[in-house]
């Protein structure tokens, strides 16, 4: 079977995608492009030179190439335009999270996916972190009973992570951290609990006062089956990066994240036998950004004619969740999450 040719746009976030495409058995890295390839010293240029990977001189060269898959790993505000161009050029597309900067752009991508008939993946990498994947498995197996409440957080200090040429804090771009980074936690909650119907959110801005949008927010949401959830997002919080997640069921609790070598589970049946409520630890592999598994899943789906789980609609629903939370913080009222697209 011929290998699928992969082209990557954006070589900071796209570095892991490029490495995966170069090393996996069913793909070959055929072309890469970054608008600031020459200027950006943080791009690992030796990797592409040592492995004789062609570097495109223009973005249009990517769309005109013979690549089967285009990975869009550029900054958020380019996702919509580049995904649509790649789809119209007849490519399958894997687009980094968040799918787009707002719901209207997501609708444009959906239309292009339908028109092209190509496969599409939204890069929600937390679904591929072993700790979260095990938590999802244990929940699905009924190990902690019926889901009651869950909480997740995206705590990541962006003080020294403004992005190349400071795009993350550019007032003209006006990137919203609750979506741009917080989509990790929001998507994880959707994956575990289903699509929320309503969200209420508060936000403030004390860590990064010179940035164009709030840096911290807390949202409470209603999920199916009367489940409730809370998400905390801060791109200025002074603490090590964490996505600590707590899943509370009628018969137990799971505590997990994507940076630890274990998850914790408290099961009432085991605790009854032990006559003591306590957490047991289950070892997991640490892989917080498991892009290799993402790409393998996408390629396997293409080869078998099946859409991967994190399709364009999954990416859109996570953006819709974030957009509703942002609107709630602005108006001070609960907001319904929009699902008509």
In this predicted structure, the answer to whether residue 296 has a pLDDT above a threshold of 70 is yes
DSSP 297: H
- Domain coordinates in residue numbering, the chain: 4-124+291-308, 127-288+319-336
Examine the pLDDT at 96 and tell me if it is beyond 90.
yes
Question: Average pLDDT of 23-41?
Answer: 97
Confidence band (pLDDT; 50, 70, 90) for 287?
Answer: confident
- Res. 2 pLDDT band, cuts 50 70 90: confident
Q: What is the pTM of this model?
A: 0.96
The average pLDDT across 27-54 equals 96
Give the three-state DSSP class for 41.
coil
> What would the mean pLDDT of 3-15 be, rounded to a whole number?
97
Q: Give the model confidence (pLDDT) of 134-179 as tens digits.
A: 999 999 999 999 999 999 999 999 999 999 999 999 999 999 999 9
CA 309 to chain centre: 13
Res. 1: pLDDT tops 70: no
> Do residues 258 and 131 touch, judged by C-beta distance below 8 A?
yes
Percent of the chain past pLDDT 70, that is, above it, reads 99
CATH architecture of the domain with range 4-124+291-308: 3-Layer(aba) Sandwich (3.40)
Q: Give the CA distances from residue 110 to residues 124, 189, 224, in Å, rounded to whole numbers and listed in that order.
A: 17, 22, 25
- CA torsion 259→318→97→189, rounded to 10°? 10
Per-residue model confidence as pLDDT tens digits over 299-339? 999 999 999 999 999 999 999 999 999 999 999 999 999 99
Residue 58, Cβ density class (10 Å: 0-12 exposed, 13-18 middle, ≥19 buried): exposed
If pLDDT is split at 50, 70 and 90, which confidence band does 273 have? confident
Check whether 50 has a pLDDT greater than 70: yes
Share above pLDDT 90 across residues of the chain, in percent, rounded to a whole number: 95
Q: How many residues does the chain have?
A: 341
The pLDDT of residue 286 is above 90:
no
- What's the topology of domain 127-288+319-336? Dihydrodipicolinate Reductase; domain 2 (3.30.360)
């Amino acid at each position: 079977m011929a290998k699928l040719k992969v082209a990557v746009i954006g070589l900071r976030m796209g570095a892991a995608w490029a490495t995966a495409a170069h090393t996996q058995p069913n793909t070959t890295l055929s072309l890469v492009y970054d608008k600031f390839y020459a200027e950006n010293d943080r791009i690992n240029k030796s990797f592409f030179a040592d492995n004789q990977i062609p570097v495109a001189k223009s973005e249009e060269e990517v769309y005109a190439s013979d690549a089967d898959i285009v990975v869009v790993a550029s900054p958020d505000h380019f996702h919509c335009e580049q995904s649509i161009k790649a789809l119209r050029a007849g490519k399958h597309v894997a687009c980094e999270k968040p799918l787009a900067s707002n719901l209207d752009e997501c609708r444009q991508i959906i239309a292009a996916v339908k028109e092209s008939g190509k496969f599409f993946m939204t890069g929600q990498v937390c679904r591929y972190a072993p700790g979260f994947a095990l938590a999802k498995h244990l929940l699905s197996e009924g190990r902690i009973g019926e889901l009651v409440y869950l909480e997740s957080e995206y705590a990541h200090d962006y003080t020294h992570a403004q992005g190349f040429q400071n795009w993350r804090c550019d007032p003209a771009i006006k990137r919203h951290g609750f979506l741009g980074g917080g989509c990790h936690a929001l998507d994880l909650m959707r994956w575990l609990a289903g699509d929320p119907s309503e969200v209420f959110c508060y936000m403030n801005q004390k860590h990064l006062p010179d940035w164009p949008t709030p840096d911290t927010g807390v949202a409470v949401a209603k999920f199916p089956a009367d489940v409730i959830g809370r998400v905390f997002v801060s791109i200025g919080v002074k603490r090590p990066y964490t996505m600590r997640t707590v899943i509370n069921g009628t018969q137990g609790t799971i505590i997990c994240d994507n940076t630890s070598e274990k998850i914790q589970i408290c099961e009432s049946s085991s605790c009854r036998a032990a006559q003591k409520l306590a957490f047991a630890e289950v070892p997991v592999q640490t892989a917080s950004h498991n892009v290799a598994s993402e790409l393998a899943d996408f390629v396997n789906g293409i080869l078998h004619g099946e859409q991967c789980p994190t399709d364009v609609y999954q990416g859109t629903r996570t953006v819709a969740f974030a957009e509703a939370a942002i609107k709630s913080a602005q108006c001070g009222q609960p907001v319904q999450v929009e699902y008509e697209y």
